[in-house]
Structure 1
Amino acid sequence: MKKFTWGTGIFLFLVLFLAGSAVFIIFASRQTVNLVHKDYYEKGVDYSEEIKVKERSKEFLNALDIQTTNESLLVNIAPEVAAKIDSGSMYLYRPSDSKEDITLTLEEPTSQVSFRKSELKNGRYILKFTWYNKGVKYQIQRPVNVQ
């Protein structure tokens, strides 16, 4: 019987360490990465403009009324805001899975927008309503839970 020497111990330690590292690298490379934004740098550069848009939009925070029915998610826009929309968009952002995000473009003034529940998964969304009035940008964000 051969004696267990310190050289054998070091060799076994290195083999186990490298095998563990390889398993971790394979595990980490198979994980999906969901980023909030694909263009973080551009968002950071425009952050001061985003602050101005939020300040400008504070007076319209109660302009949205969100209702859920069996078939759809209805977003009612206050008439005084709906009349001033030159163009805009509604963006349903799902923090847990960016593949489930939905964007609707508003080409004309409208007071109601609906999202079909068949397109939505149950869970938390963030509704971002962005619109322009005479070239000035406004934006409202609201959390939405879909059941």
Structure 2
Amino acid sequence: MRHLKINWGTAVVLAFIGFIVFILSFVIRMNTQKKYDHQLVTEAYYARELSFQEDMDREQKTRREGMDPRIERTKKGIHIDFPDHLKPEEISGSISLYRPSDSKEDFEISVKLSGRRLIIPDEKLLPGRWNVEIDWQYGENHYLTHKKIMY
């Protein structure tokens, strides 16, 4: 029987080629298979980036004036309570729920209140992280609140 001898230079080249093949197969798999779908958090990501400073100013105004709605997770869903001193019928706007792991689960609801509390039922919410954005107005004032929730 003959023994095949490989010197160390050949072994290094073979290891390097193996590593390159592994990396290329990984890159190809990540770009072609649907289960590794990588997308932007929101569809209009770059457009939203342009209004970033305006949004920060609105959030600071909301906190400064004590107008942050209270957002809490319960067994029944997400409860959003607007400040007590406001008239519910004069509050309008929208609530957007973004799911960082899957943009197909994102949804938005309109703010129409008869009382101070709005409930987002748990059947609409999958377990995991949700980014809640409340973009609302009361009279002539516009407010913005963001909160991350684990559901």
Give the TM-score taking structure 1 as reference length.
Answer: 0.71
1:48: how far off? 2.2
Contact 2:68 2:145 in 1 (8 A): no
CA distance in 2, matches of 1:102, 1:39: 14
The residue aligned with 2:69 is 63
The residue aligned with 1:33 is 38
The residue aligned with 2:103 is 98
CA distance in 1, matches of 2:148, 2:21: 45
Gaps of 5+ in 2: none
Letter of the 1:104 counterpart: I
Letter of the 1:75 counterpart: I
The residue aligned with 1:124 is 129
CA distance in 1, matches of 2:53, 2:39: 25
Gaps of 5+ in 1: none
The residue aligned with 1:113 is 118
When residues 61 and 11 of structure 1 are mapped into structure 2, their CA distance, relative to the original with a 3 A threshold, is: same
Please give the per-residue CA displacement for 1:65-109, whole angstroms capped at 9, x wherever unaligned: 53513x433222223163542x20112222333222231112x44
Letter of the 1:130 counterpart: D
1:23: how far off? 0.9
1:120: how far off? 0.9
The residue aligned with 1:82 is 88
SS of the equivalent of 2:41 reads: coil
Contact 1:124 1:144 in 2 (8 A): yes
Please give the per-residue CA displacement for 1:101-138, whole angstroms capped at 9, x wherever unaligned: 231112x4442222121221122323211112345421
SS of the equivalent of 1:24 reads: helix
1:33: how far off? 0.8
Q: How many residues align?
A: 143
* Structure-to-structure mapping, 1:42-57, within 5 angstroms: 42-57=47-62
CA distance in 2, matches of 1:72, 1:10: 58
* Structure-to-structure mapping, 1:5-24, within 5 angstroms: 16=18, 19-24=21-26
